[in-house]
Each structure stands twice: as structure tokens, then as C-alpha cells.
Amino acid sequence: MEDAGRKLKQARERLNLRYRDVEQASLRIAERHKNDEFAIALSRLADIENKGTVPNIYRLYSLCAIYRLDIVEVLQWYAVDLTQLPADAASIQLETTHLIGFQPSEHGVIQVPLSLDPGLDMRKTTYLSRMIQRWGTLPLMLLNGLDLRNHRYAFIGTEDWTMYPLLLPGSLVLIDETKRKIQRSGWSSELERPIYFLEHRGGYLCGWCSLDEDQLVVLPHPASHQVPQVFAFPAEIDVIGQVTGVAMRLDQARRRRTRSSAA
């Protein structure tokens, strides 16, 4: 707090402002907003600069306006990082369905893929992290808090119905590579059962897994009408990780009905 006060003092001194100048300027702001909370008395300004007193939101606003400071940066001086707001919110579980009011901001950046391998076949399930050719930054506050560069991603092919309707064709999935051990129990429904992303000689698979000694069975969702596939493990197939997130378009389900009708 004292360090933040010192920085505010330096900002005032760079502008050659006296305590009295700051007080008078804050009074004009308070008058403009018709709120005395914006006013900063001489003694309070001295405490903010020299004793580590934390200004309230109104006085902080006045100081930023008078000193021409970015309030987001000044909040960081006080260890309040607004770019962490969505991440902190995500760590708090709320029982009720709700809207999210956070908006994208120019403060903070994330890493996103800017270009993909031109040989990418959207019909097949693909390990996207190997297809990304170039990374760039975008100021997307809503995704801050995720270490996007170090996560792994995969694209469920537009003709891959293995885990329908849990994972629709065309879905983008997030893979946790630290979760590679096949779980044999611990779930009470299909929604809780781990889904794994796997690599074999013919490409990639996404599904439930059953491991029996040196045989790994990849189980599709019953609604997909696909058949289980059996591989020698680990000779013929490798577990890349567990699917821990998914983004998908719900209207893709229409393609399933259309496909079934055509068949």
C-alpha cells in the first residue's frame, strides 16, 4: 500500500501539483458529480501518499482524473488486477444459471492460434495443437486466467459421430494431458465418465475407455450406433489426455437427423 501511495505522490510531483491544488481539483469533480465522496481533503491525501491509506473508489477516481492515470493500472498498484476478474469468478461455483456481465477489454492478452496447417481435414477428428502453425495475442478479457498456450486442443471431425450426443461433430475440445491414466470406476452416470482423446495408427479417436491388461477398448456412445474398437495397449494406441472442456454448436444435431434419414 505504501508503494502505491509513493507512486501517486510521484505522479502528483511530476505535474508540479501541491496538496491544495489536488484538493481544489477534487472539489470541482465532486461538484460536477454532485457527490462529496469525490473530494479529497489535505490530510487524507497526505495519509494516502505517506501512510499507505487506501483511497475509496471515489477518491481513487478523482486522483486518476487529476493525474491523468489509467485507473486499471492504479488498481494494480493496490494489488487489484481487473484482468483476473473473470478467472476469480470462474473459481466460485454458483448454483443458479446466470448471465456473465464481463466484457472484453484492452487490458490483458491471451494467446490464440492465428493460422492452421492448410492440410487440415475438417471431416476427421484432429489434434489441433499439432496443426497450429502460429500463435498471436488477442485482448480477450473473458478468457483470461486460462493458460491457453499450454492446454491442448482437438477438433471432432464433422463426420465423427463416436460420442454423439455428448460431443457433436465439429466440436472443439480441451484436453488435459496430465490425465492419461484410464479410470476404471468413480462415476455414477455417462456425464461423469471420463472421455479420452487417443492417437492410433489411423488417426485420432475420442471416447470412453476400458482397459483390460494389454487391451484397450474405445467405447462409443450408444446413441451413435458406432461399434467399439479394440487396440493392443500401448503398442497400437496412445492416450493423449482426458477431455475436460468442449465448445460446440447445438444445431449440429440436425446434421445427425439428416444423415440418418438419408441412410
Could you tell me the domains of the chain? 2-80 (1.10.260.40), 110-262 (2.10.109.10)
Q: What is the pLDDT of residue 141?
A: 37
**How far is the C-alpha of 10 from the C-alpha of 1, rounded, in Å?**
14
Q: Whole-number mean pLDDT of the chain?
A: 81
Please give the share of the chain, as a percent, with pLDDT higher than 70. Answer: 73
**Selection from 204, 213, 207, 187 nearest residue 238 by Cα:** 204
DSSP conformation class of 194? -
Count of beta carbons in the 10 Å neighbourhood of residue 134: 8
Q: What is the pLDDT of residue 80?
A: 93
**How far is the C-alpha of 64 from the C-alpha of 132, rounded, in Å?**
42
Q: What is the pLDDT of residue 251?
A: 62
Question: Is residue 3 helix, strand or coil?
Answer: helix
Q: What is the pLDDT of residue 202?
A: 86
Q: Computed over its alpha carbons, how large is the radius of gyration of the chain?
A: 27
| Helix 42-50 with 19-33: angle, nearest 10 deg | 110
Q: What is the pLDDT of residue 78?
A: 95
- To the question of pTM greater than 0.75 for the whole model, the response is no
Which of 6-10, 20-24, 252-256 bottoms out in mean pLDDT, i.e. has the lowest? 252-256
Q: What is the pLDDT of residue 87?
A: 75
**How far is the C-alpha of 206 from the C-alpha of 88, rounded, in Å?**
31
